[in-house]
Structure 1
Amino acid sequence: MEQRILIYAPAGQDAALAGTVFASSAIASHACHSPGDLAEQLALGAGGVLTVDEALQAGVYSVLDAYARQQPDWSDLPIILLTHAGLDSLSLRQAITTLGNLTLLERPVHILTLITSAHAMLRARQRQYQVRETQRRKDEFLASLGHELRNPLAPIKSAVALLKHMFPASEQVGKVSDVIERQVTHLTRLVDDLLDVARISSGKVLLQRKEFKLQQVLDHVSELCQPAASKRHIRITLDLPPHAVTLHADYARVVQIFANIVSNAVKFTPDGGHIHITAHQAQGQLQVVIEDNGIGIEPDAIARIFSMFEQGRTVAGEMTSGLGIGLSLARQFAELHGGSIDACSDGPGRGSRFIVTLPASASDIPAAAPAATDSASPASAHQPLQVLVVDDNRDAADTLQSLFQLEGYAAKVAYGGAQALAAVDMAWPQLVVMDLGMPGMDGYEAARQIRQRAQGRDVLLIALTGWGQGEARARTEQAGFDHHLTKPVDFATIAALLHAHLARRAGAATRAE
């Protein structure tokens, strides 16, 4: 379908003759009978379009213009337009200006000219398909890279937590553990940014909207950015509206928007500098201005700073660390929410201002109480809770098992799906924390078989994996998992989910009585 040329010439013999010429040269074509038919066939795929000038005002221009505007970045649909010799009309000039990859052939057209033009069109289209395939492979590579990087991060994070448990009074262990935790957090953010690039490129970002306060977001952003700022004695101050501002948005993505901009400001602000965040709300729109007294932005650089992989230079003139994708992701996440991000600067050495606009509303609803994150075992005084950790990465499985045991849980470990099934048949746990991508029987199949067993309905199933894409989350839900967590994860997060699960079961049992 993608190699064929779509022909739309509603009058005369142009369509039939072009089809015959193409067939003689083994070029696939399809004659469309109306602009609507052309639009439907374009959606199915096309190597290019052949049309005539008199069809422009008969609806074909609007179809081609709409397609050209919404086509993906890799696509530049080739179009051959047959015109009358010497024709110069408003509709023709409009087509030349807006349709992009347009070739004009004056009638009468020599057969050889039409054939060579068609071959050139298809060769150009084939190169576009190669770009598409390269992008697809890049996205798959980034997804696989994220998964492979997350796997070793999980046991590192668990091992650090173990060290703190084993040597709580050691100042040296505490300092080393803090360094490792900070670097693991930084590496995790880099991995997440890489995966977000792949998700956005493939249109797989789905917003998980809920209501929350602006104050919650900025507190979280301060928590993320303050360590780097404090290290260089940079002050971060806030000036917020007197009333609560409520956002109905994806909390994690909004935090990412502001954290990326503030951390960028920290990079480009000298030691002892100042970053000021001002927010105001009017007519259903929240506007947040992040202003610094850093190195500023060159006028010709403002248009580039939101480009993917664009790198800037620090105060010392060195290339910055990081991937150069933070601002690009921030703007794209803002636009997904129906908002925008703009930047301005009075020039080098005069600081920068970033203006974030998002839909919001004033609200007097009190902030939700934070979820309990007490990691102590919820077991009764008689029997500890039974936990099964399943992962083919033995370091990840063993360190997480040790963490559970130190917290008072009765934790066992299995290194594959088949082992997990054998373990639950011997003794049913209350919680199963399981990896997905295991050889032999993977986590999806193991979860399905656990749910099919008589006691499987009562088990809390948590997928703990390096795969965070939307399709992986959909598959975990279909397999019967209750939650999908990406590595590395805080132990307290798992414990909080188990607390909530047990509380729901206890409440259900009380109501049944």
Structure 2
Amino acid sequence: METRILIYAPTGQDAPLAAKVLHMAQIDSHVCATLAELARQLEQGAGAVLTVEEALAPGGYQLLQDCVANQPEWSDLPIILLTHHGADSPTVRQAVAGLGNLSLMERPVRTLTLITALHSTLRARNKQYQVREAARRKDEFLASLGHELRNPLAPIRTSVSLLTHLYPDAAPVARIREVVERQVRLLTRLVDDLLDVARITSGKITLQRQQVTLAAVMRHVGELCQYAADAKRIHIAWQLPPSEIMLDVDYARAVQIYANIISNAVKFTPQGGNVLVRAAIDAEGGDSGAGPALLVSVKDSGIGLDADTIPRIFRMFEQSATVSGQFSSGLGIGLSLSRQFAEMHGGTVEARSDGPGQGSEFLIRLPVLAGSGDGARGVAPLAPPAAADGRKIKVLVVDDNEDAADSLAALLEIDGFDVRAVYDGAAAVAATAQSQPDMIIMDLGMPGMDGYETARAIRQRPGAERILMLALTGWGQSDARRRTLEAGFDHHLVKPVELEQIIRLAGARHNRDQVQAAR
């Protein structure tokens, strides 16, 4: 499909003659009799489009222009336009201005000229396909890398939490725990950023919107950014509205938007500097006029930006040079992710600066919910729920990484659960048959009998529909989440997971069971 030439010349003999010539030259082609057929065939893929000047109006030009405008980044669809002899018409001039990778050939065209031009066009098109394949392989590599990095992060975080429970009053242990937790959070964030790059470029990110307060988002952002600021003695000042502001956003992505930009401000602000975070309602929605928006300004006393740098800083993997000429640390993707996540929410991110040494200001606009004001609701400390009959909740942990399984099992035991750990799918099925648990926390990527197959086998047992099954894995893509639900899991958790998240899910199931039992 992708190497064929689509021919669109609905009048005259150009289409059948061109098809005959291409067949003799062993070039795959397809003649489109109507615009609707051309649109359908373009969706299936094409090496190039061969058309004629008179076919562009009416409708033909608009169809091709839409196709060119909406094609993926790797693609630059070649269009060969056969024109009338003589001066260029307005139709041809319009095509030159709006159809991108366009080549003009004046009729009558020599057969050899047309064939060699198409061979050259297809060779160039093949290079585009190679770029697409390289991008696909890169995305697969990043996803696999994220999975492999998340696996060791999970037992590290769980083991540190276990130390805290075992030695709650030991100051040296507390200091070690804080260091390890900070570094695990940093590594987790870097892994998440890498995976977000892969998901954005492959179109696999979907927003999980919920109503959250600005205060809750900013508390989380402050926790993520404060350590780096303290290390450089940078003061972050927060000027948030006194009244509560409600947002309809993907909570995790909203935190990323602000945390990436504030972290960037801290990175490029010298020791002892200042970062000011101000938030207010912009009733007009800025230049877009899209209605009320939350306008957050992040202004720093850092190295500033020159006019040429500002358009580049939002490019993926862009590394900005500092005043000393050294390149900054990091992956160079934080600002790009912030802008793309904001745009997915219907918002914007822009930067401004008075020049080098004058600091920078980033303006983030996100749509705001009107009529909010219920106030922030606090979250009560979590306690592990009990089963319906008052006994401890029985948990089965399944993971071929024994360190991960044992550390999570020990942590759950300390928090009041009745826990057993096994290390492969067959053992999980056998353990469930021997004594049915209330909850199963299971890795997906186990050798032999993987988590999907194990879950399906367990769900087939009588009474297994009452088991709360959590998939615990390094894979966070939407297709992995879909497969876990199809296999019978109730929830898909991405490593490293917080214990509080497991307790909340167990509590939600416990509450639901109580309601059903009361009916």
Matched, 1:452 2:460: yes
Q: Residue in 2 aligned with 1:301?
A: 309
Q: Residue in 2 aligned with 1:492?
A: 500
Q: Residue in 2 aligned with 1:135?
A: 135
Q: More displaced, 229-238 or 462-471?
A: 229-238
Matched, 1:346 2:344: no
Q: In 1, are the aligned partners of 2:388 and 2:513 still within 8 Å (CA)?
A: no
Matched, 1:31 2:39: no
Q: Residue in 1 aligned with 2:85?
A: 85
Q: Deviations over 1:178-220 (max 9, x none)?
A: 1111001000000000000000001111011111122221121
Partner secondary structure for residue 228 of structure 2: helix
Q: Deviations over 1:131-158 (max 9, x none)?
A: 1111111111111110000001011111
In structure 2, what residue type is equivalent to 1:42? L
Q: More displaced, 476-485 or 337-346?
A: 476-485
Q: In 1, are the aligned partners of 2:265 and 2:300 still within 8 Å (CA)?
A: yes
Q: More displaced, 446-455 or 423-432?
A: 446-455
User: Which of the numbers 415, 427, 439 marks the counterpart of 2:435?
Assistant: 427
Cα distance change of structure 1 residues 164 and 381 upon mapping to structure 2, 3 Å threshold = farther
Q: Residue in 1 aligned with 2:195?
A: 195
Q: In 2, are the aligned partners of 1:391 and 1:416 still within 8 Å (CA)?
A: yes
User: Which of the numbers 376, 382, 397 marks the counterpart of 1:389?
Assistant: 397
Q: Residue in 1 aligned with 2:95?
A: 95
Q: In 2, are the aligned partners of 1:331 and 1:341 still within 8 Å (CA)?
A: yes
Matched, 1:311 2:319: yes
Q: In 1, are the aligned partners of 2:444 and 2:471 still within 8 Å (CA)?
A: yes
In structure 2, what residue type is equivalent to 1:474? R
Number of paired residues?
A: 511
Q: Residue in 1 aligned with 2:416?
A: 408
Q: Following the alignment from structure 2 to structure 1, what is the Cα–Cα distance between the partners of residues 444 and 409? A: 17
Q: Residue in 2 aligned with 1:147?
A: 147
Matched, 1:63 2:67: no
Q: Following the alignment from structure 1 to structure 2, what is the Cα–Cα distance between the partners of residues 376 and 262? A: 35
Q: In 1, are the aligned partners of 2:425 and 2:450 still within 8 Å (CA)?
A: yes
Q: Following the alignment from structure 1 to structure 2, what is the Cα–Cα distance between the partners of residues 182 and 32? A: 60
Gaps of 5+ in 2: 284-290
Partner secondary structure for residue 446 of structure 2: coil
Q: Residue in 2 aligned with 1:185?
A: 185
Q: Residue in 1 aligned with 2:286?
A: none
Q: Residue in 2 aligned with 1:243?
A: 243
Cα distance change of structure 1 residues 286 and 180 upon mapping to structure 2, 3 Å threshold = same
* TM-score (norm. length: structure 2): 0.95
Cα distance change of structure 1 residues 219 and 188 upon mapping to structure 2, 3 Å threshold = same
Q: Following the alignment from structure 2 to structure 1, what is the Cα–Cα distance between the partners of residues 341 and 390? A: 49
Q: In 2, are the aligned partners of 1:373 and 1:493 still within 8 Å (CA)?
A: no
Question: Per-residue deviation at 1:404?
Answer: 1.7
User: Which of the numbers 363, 371, 378 marks the counterpart of 2:371?
Assistant: 363
Q: In 2, are the aligned partners of 1:388 and 1:432 still within 8 Å (CA)?
A: yes
Matched, 1:278 2:273: no
Q: In 2, are the aligned partners of 1:373 and 1:492 still within 8 Å (CA)?
A: no
Q: Deviations over 1:320-341 (max 9, x none)?
A: 2211000000000011111111
Cα distance change of structure 1 residues 380 and 179 upon mapping to structure 2, 3 Å threshold = farther
Q: Residue in 2 aligned with 1:49?
A: 49
Q: In 2, are the aligned partners of 1:233 and 1:272 still within 8 Å (CA)?
A: yes
Q: In 2, are the aligned partners of 1:154 and 1:488 still within 8 Å (CA)?
A: yes
Q: Following the alignment from structure 1 to structure 2, what is the Cα–Cα distance between the partners of residues 382 and 361? A: 42
User: Which of the numbers 506, 511, 515 marks the counterpart of 1:507?
Assistant: 515
Q: In 2, are the aligned partners of 1:139 and 1:198 still within 8 Å (CA)?
A: yes
Partner secondary structure for residue 350 of structure 2: strand
Q: More displaced, 4-13 or 302-311?
A: 4-13
Q: Following the alignment from structure 1 to structure 2, what is the Cα–Cα distance between the partners of residues 469 and 382? A: 37
Matched, 1:478 2:518: no
Partner secondary structure for residue 295 of structure 2: strand
User: Which of the numbers 319, 323, 336 marks the counterpart of 1:328?
Assistant: 336
Question: Per-residue deviation at 1:86?
Answer: 2.3
Q: Deviations over 1:8-57 (max 9, x none)?
A: 11222111110000000111111111222211110111110001111222
Q: Following the alignment from structure 1 to structure 2, what is the Cα–Cα distance between the partners of residues 264 and 160? A: 28
Q: Following the alignment from structure 1 to structure 2, what is the Cα–Cα distance between the partners of residues 380 and 80? A: 72
Q: In 2, are the aligned partners of 1:158 and 1:399 still within 8 Å (CA)?
A: yes
Question: Per-residue deviation at 1:381?
Answer: 10
In structure 2, what residue type is equivalent to 1:241? P
Matched, 1:225 2:225: yes
Q: Deviations over 1:67-104 (max 9, x none)?
A: 00000001000111111222312221121122111111
Q: Following the alignment from structure 1 to structure 2, what is the Cα–Cα distance between the partners of residues 270 and 394? A: 45
Q: Following the alignment from structure 1 to structure 2, what is the Cα–Cα distance between the partners of residues 367 and 217? A: 14
Question: Per-residue deviation at 1:372?
Answer: 4.3
Q: More displaced, 251-260 or 230-239?
A: 230-239
Q: Following the alignment from structure 2 to structure 1, what is the Cα–Cα distance between the partners of residues 227 and 510? A: 36
Matches within 5 A, 1:370-381: 370-376=378-384, 378=386
In structure 2, what residue type is equivalent to 1:83? T
Q: Following the alignment from structure 1 to structure 2, what is the Cα–Cα distance between the partners of residues 460 and 373? A: 22
Q: In 2, are the aligned partners of 1:373 and 1:496 still within 8 Å (CA)?
A: no
* TM-score (norm. length: structure 1): 0.96
Q: Residue in 1 aligned with 2:208?
A: 208
Q: More displaced, 345-354 or 89-98?
A: 89-98
In structure 2, what residue type is equivalent to 1:159? S
Q: In 2, are the aligned partners of 1:245 and 1:363 still within 8 Å (CA)?
A: no
Question: Per-residue deviation at 1:405?
Answer: 2.1
Q: More displaced, 368-377 or 402-411?
A: 368-377
Q: Following the alignment from structure 1 to structure 2, what is the Cα–Cα distance between the partners of residues 295 and 243? A: 34
Partner secondary structure for residue 136 of structure 1: helix
Q: More displaced, 93-102 or 151-160?
A: 93-102
Q: More displaced, 211-220 or 299-308?
A: 211-220
Partner secondary structure for residue 56 of structure 2: helix
Q: Deviations over 1:437-470 (max 9, x none)?
A: 1111111121122222112111111111000011
Partner secondary structure for residue 57 of structure 1: coil
Q: Residue in 2 aligned with 1:105?
A: 105
Question: Per-residue deviation at 1:314?
Answer: 4.8
Question: Per-residue deviation at 1:380?
Answer: 9.1
In structure 1, what residue type is equivalent to 2:425? G
Q: In 2, are the aligned partners of 1:6 and 1:31 still within 8 Å (CA)?
A: yes
Gaps of 5+ in 1: none
Q: In 2, are the aligned partners of 1:390 and 1:433 still within 8 Å (CA)?
A: yes
Q: Deviations over 1:369-425 (max 9, x none)?
A: 345452556469974321100011111111111112222322111111111000010
